[in-house]
Amino acid sequence: MEYDFRTNEKKWQNYWSTNHTFKAVLDKTKPKYYVLDMFPYPSGAGLHVGHPLGYIASDILSRFKRLQGFNVLHPMGYDAFGLPAEQYAIQTGQHPAKTTEENILMYREQLDKIGFSFDWKRQVKTSEPSYYKWTQWIFMQLFNSYFCNDEQKAKPVSGLNKVFNNEGNSSINAAHSCNLSFTAEQWKGFSHKEQQDILLDYRLAYLAESVVNWCPEMGTVLANDEVKDGKSERGGYEVVQKKMKQWSLRITAYAQRLLDGLENLDWSDALKDIQSNWIGRSEGAQIKFDLDGHDEVIEVFTTRPDTIFGVSFMVLAPEHELVSKITTAGQKVEVEKYIVVSSHRSERERLADVKNITGAFTGAYVKQPFSDEKIPVWIGDYVLAGYGTGAVMAVPSGDQRDWDFANHFGLAIPPIIKGQDVSEGAEVSKDGEIINSDFLNGMKVKKAIKLILFKVKEMGIGEHRINYKMRDAVFGRQRYWGEPIPVYYVDGVPNLVKEEHLPLALPKVDKYLPTSDGEPPLKRSENWNYNPEKGIVKSGEGYELELTTMPGWSGSSWYYLRYMDADNPNEIASKEALEYWGPVDFYLGGAEHATGHLLYFRFWTKVLHDLDFLSFDEPAKKLLNQGMIQAEDGQKMSKRYGNVVNPDDVIADHGADALRLHEMFLGPIEMHKPWNTQGIEGVSKFLRKLWRLYHDVDGDFNISEEPATKSELKSLHKVIKKFAEDTERLSFNTSVSAFMVAVNELGDLKCNKREILEPLTIVVSCHAPHITEELWNKLGHSESISKAELPIYNEAYLKEDTKKYPVSFNGKMRFMLELPMDFNKQQIEEAVTTNEQSERWLEGKTPKKIIVVPGKIVNIVL
RNA sequence: GCCCUGGUGGUGGAAUUGGUAGACACGCAGGACUUAAAAUCCUGUGAUCAUUGCGGUCGUGCGGGUUCAAGUCCCGCCCGGGGUACCA
């Protein structure tokens, strides 16, 4: 009987499911291992062969860890809130929950066919009220916390209130967006609303007027990571800058910790680089320049304070608050005209138009603090209002953008680096020697920066400063299909909904569109007011509830915690479960989430850690990015190009084990690689050959109890060793060739011995679980092969008595010579030089040198 | 521009620490079995020169270098993929 994958795979999938074979149970006597996949958004298109690639790899690792005796947590769920379901709802009027549920069922069916060892009892769906209750609860923790810069951690806002009462806000060093400073007396004098507005500016979840990415097509705001090249990442719609009052999360407070934390993570350098570039730390100085004829000062941020003697003008962002104040009457028309023009340029135009240098002179001057020289103040949109102080000290000889600006407007370019040619461009390297700079003359950059920092501090005009490119994350979406934000308003002051009223469930609406006056869809609900005693009440009968919903990345920022204790009605997960299972030992998913999900995921973990809910402060110790599978034509696999390969079809033709093996065999997991339809024949053939080892020519199961020979044991232990090593270093493709080599060798040896085949079955079972369950069962085992123990390789079986040495002359391999393994250098050298094959290559010469690496090579230098 | 990645036969890839480049597959060619096909098995398969056989030369994107020895290390380029971009 040939191997019949169709009935066999179904048989074992049913067995696993009815016996709950992969159910994970908290068991403190066993070491745990948590393998997590990035959960999918269940789209209507279903899975193509690219999607399971990562799931197969993580499944192999999970099974491997089980065989090693770990208690493995390997869950799966759905990132179920999202825009496509909502767009579909707008078009068809169907509730997004309905289409989402349909898609989930389709996904589940596809996933089940591949033979994954998920513990489905722990499944989460982010759009379920029982799940998003806790997403809302985490939002409340964020709302109730502020970030203390001194301790570098989140703390309860209630503590802030006390400090304000006692000493105002001057002594507190916290992350905030409050531009007031006040004394205790003033604080006590503020109204309730004023106090609440100030506290809001300190909260980690805060409401603030800010410039946001507004997408008119989608009718919602987007976070920075959701915008690519001035267009929305999803849909590619135009995005414009707009000032709006929005919920935001103060992730910037965690910038330094998010950066520092990378160091101890076993993530790829590529990914860590993407995150650290996105965080964008830069170290420098903030320096004040006195304005000529005004009380105000212009503050600039610079990473090169040592170039301060090269400053020949200042540039403010057009939106800078001092612009209107300092512009002289004579320049007023020009400046105002420029501001209007630049404000009408969209982000996109600005990006596309980098070469075009624009700006205007304000007519004002500042004083260079050391030379008292008068320096003209310009405005220009190459200076961004949102970064640093929104103003720069322009050093055209040291910064190319400043140089371009100076060159364009005919401003002075004083040289400050020895030997530089200012007519050519700026000298940006940090190697030069400083000139024309008073007390800094003759110094190198590093030393000069130290000295100038000391000087400006001494003079009270500047200080050391660190800036980050990363911005706070806009958290509200003018959309329906997301978690409601658990906030209601009393006289414009946001209040948290009572915890007992969670989950704050999405209300019914008649349409999923904004209202006619542009309010979000939740405004349409007839039941969207709040009464602190009763909970949700009819619209018009209570306080206004928040109308925006949370962004798509909310549910995914903490889902890994819920898997640890998925049904807990009282907590996000029990302390015990969090303590035992956390953090994730191995996380697998696409690199496209580097600046979105993976940052928020780390951020929420750190907050929950600070608030003592978690003992760890990084969610995933080790992370692997799987590559993309391209279509056979090298393009992206997409419905649009009609080149999608559906795993269901592959499984119908070749079986799930073949699919799994083939996807791994395509190449290293982290690489992009094209799908290859023909190649699957190779792994199918392998599975048939494997089957045949256990069966005689008539197809009857036939196993010998005879002891194994040396060469059989060698084949077996080679593959045991290779599989374990390969899997530890996540090289899933090379294991497959090792399996093939073993099966080919054992086939040649006509080996059907239990002593060999039993361990071999276990070794292959992680990659090909169905066929091996069947063989395992035929070998007489009543338990699943996943409960077996990983065979340990024995060095003794791999030891050779002889070694075939490659013998090289001048580095070129000329012939092989078999010598006893225990020959020492001397003996090897003698054997090689006296060997008759050497004569031809020696040509009578005496070797200059003979290199012998025992067990490896011989090289003779002539 | 800057920061990451990658570049090896016709194809996917292997070579883990500098030590026989091309494992394992696909494809292709030839053969066995068969009335035929499928399945299975065997042989060959980097290029090139030579050929009766032995064999020689070249070869890991390009150009240099280090080394007894380089796909692997160093320097300078080219090309593909990703990230980021007036971030001071």
- Helix A5-19 vs helix A769-778: crossing angle, to nearest 10: 80
Please tell me whether any atom of strand B lies within 7 Å of the Cβ of A125.
Answer: no
Nucleotide nearest to A283 (CA to C1'): B88
**Phi, psi of A48, deg, nearest 5:** -110, 175
Please tell me whether any atom of strand B lies within 7 Å of the Cβ of A594.
Answer: yes
Query: Which of A49-53, A213-217, A263-267, A449-453 has the lowest average pLDDT?
Result: A213-217
ipTM comes to 0.94
Nucleotide nearest to A678 (CA to C1'): B26
Please tell me whether any atom of strand B lies within 7 Å of the Cβ of A383.
Answer: yes
Nucleotide nearest to A307 (CA to C1'): B88
- DSSP run (H or E) holding A653: helix A647-654
pLDDT score, position A300 = 95
Give the mean model confidence (pLDDT) for residues A431-437: 88
Shortest CA distance to A200 belongs to which of A174, A227, A170, A171? A174
Nucleotide nearest to A737 (CA to C1'): B24
Please tell me whether any atom of strand B lies within 7 Å of the Cβ of A851.
Answer: yes
Give the mean model confidence (pLDDT) for residues A302-323: 93
Percent of chain A at pLDDT exceeding 90: 71
In sequence order, which residues have a C-beta less than 8 Å from that of residue A856 and are 6 or more positions away?
A: A805
> A656-697, pLDDT tens digit by residue?
999 999 999 999 999 988 888 888 999 999 999 999 999 988
pLDDT score, position A822 = 85
Spatial distance from the CA of A856 to the C1' of B66 (Å): 22
| Window 222-281 of chain A: CB closer than 7 A to strand B | 225, 228, 269-270, 273-274, 277-278, 280
Q: Which residue's CA shows the smallest distance to C1' of B15?
A: A734
> A251-285, pLDDT tens digit by residue?
999 999 999 999 899 998 889 999 999 999 999 99
Please tell me whether any atom of strand B lies within 7 Å of the Cβ of A814.
Answer: yes
Per-residue confidence band for A354, with pLDDT thresholds at 50, 70 and 90: low
Per-residue confidence band for A426, with pLDDT thresholds at 50, 70 and 90: confident
Please tell me whether any atom of strand B lies within 7 Å of the Cβ of A408.
Answer: no
**Phi, psi of A291, deg, nearest 5:** -85, 140
pLDDT score, position A347 = 59
Per-residue confidence band for A178, with pLDDT thresholds at 50, 70 and 90: confident
Spatial distance from the CA of A829 to the C1' of B86 (Å): 66
Cis amide bond preceding A583, omega within 30: yes
Only one residue has tokens 């948590």, namely: A34
Please tell me whether any atom of strand B lies within 7 Å of the Cβ of A674.
Answer: yes
pLDDT score, position A814 = 86
Spatial distance from the CA of A371 to the C1' of B62 (Å): 53
Residue A155 has pLDDT above 90, yes or no: yes
CA distances from A828 to A286, A600, A801, A840 (A): 70, 61, 14, 18
pLDDT score, position A60 = 97
Residue A353 has pLDDT above 70, yes or no: no
pLDDT score, position A352 = 61
Nucleotide nearest to A357 (CA to C1'): B86
pLDDT score, position A348 = 57
Please tell me whether any atom of strand B lies within 7 Å of the Cβ of A840.
Answer: no
Spatial distance from the CA of A789 to the C1' of B80 (Å): 44
| Window 477-516 of chain A: CB closer than 7 A to strand B | none
pLDDT score, position A36 = 97
pLDDT score, position A642 = 80
Helices marked H in A182-268:
184-189, 192-200, 255-262
Per-residue confidence band for A105, with pLDDT thresholds at 50, 70 and 90: very high
Residue A809 has pLDDT above 70, yes or no: yes
Positive or negative torsion for Cα A674, A679, A684, A686: negative
Q: For residues A571 and A352, which has the higher predicted lDDT (pLDDT)?
A: A571
Q: For residues A819 and A606, which has the higher predicted lDDT (pLDDT)?
A: A606
| Window 733-772 of chain A: CB closer than 7 A to strand B | 733-734, 736-737, 740-741, 744, 747-748
Per-residue confidence band for A2, with pLDDT thresholds at 50, 70 and 90: confident
Helices marked H in A410-468:
445-459
Per-residue confidence band for A75, with pLDDT thresholds at 50, 70 and 90: very high
| Window 289-318 of chain A: CB closer than 7 A to strand B | 300-304, 317
> A594-616, pLDDT tens digit by residue?
899 999 999 999 999 999 999 99
Shortest CA distance to A343 belongs to which of A240, A232, A246? A240
Please tell me whether any atom of strand B lies within 7 Å of the Cβ of A663.
Answer: no
Please tell me whether any atom of strand B lies within 7 Å of the Cβ of A810.
Answer: yes
pLDDT score, position A420 = 84
Per-residue confidence band for A647, with pLDDT thresholds at 50, 70 and 90: very high
CA distances from A754 to A464, A505, A705, A784 (A): 72, 59, 6, 18
pLDDT score, position A638 = 78
Residue A5 has pLDDT above 80, yes or no: yes
Residue A484 has pLDDT above 80, yes or no: yes
Nucleotide nearest to A468 (CA to C1'): B87
Q: Which tokens in the block code for residue A432?
A: 């030069």
Give the mean model confidence (pLDDT) for residues A623-634: 87
Shortest CA distance to A821 belongs to which of A838, A845, A835, A801? A801
What predicted TM-score, i.e. pTM, was given to this entire model? 0.93
Q: For chain B, which bases have at least one atom within 7 A of a protein Cβ?
A: 3-6, 11-16, 19-21, 23-27, 39-42, 56-57, 68-70, 81-84, 86-88
Please tell me whether any atom of strand B lies within 7 Å of the Cβ of A388.
Answer: yes
Residue A227 has pLDDT above 90, yes or no: no
Please, are residues A72 and A61 in contact by the beta-carbon 8 Å criterion? Answer: no
Q: For residues A221 and A337, which has the higher predicted lDDT (pLDDT)?
A: A337
Only one residue has tokens 């989402």, namely: A100
- Burial classification of residue A848, based on how many CB atoms lie within 10 Å of its CB (0-12 exposed, 13-18 middle, 19 or more buried): exposed
- Helix A754-764 vs helix A680-693: crossing angle, to nearest 10: 150
Residue-averaged pLDDT of chain A: 92
pLDDT score, position A377 = 96
Per-residue confidence band for A176, with pLDDT thresholds at 50, 70 and 90: very high
pLDDT score, position A664 = 96
- Return the number of other C-beta atoms located less than 10 Å from residue A228's C-beta: 12
Helices marked H in A417-476:
445-459
Please, are residues A35 and A68 in contact by the beta-carbon 8 Å criterion? Answer: no
Residue A305 has pLDDT above 90, yes or no: yes
Q: Which tokens in the block code for residue A695?
A: 């069966």
Per-residue confidence band for A734, with pLDDT thresholds at 50, 70 and 90: very high
Please, are residues A377 and A366 in contact by the beta-carbon 8 Å criterion? Answer: yes
Nucleotide nearest to A347 (CA to C1'): B86
Percent of chain A at pLDDT exceeding 70: 98
Residue A355 has pLDDT above 60, yes or no: yes
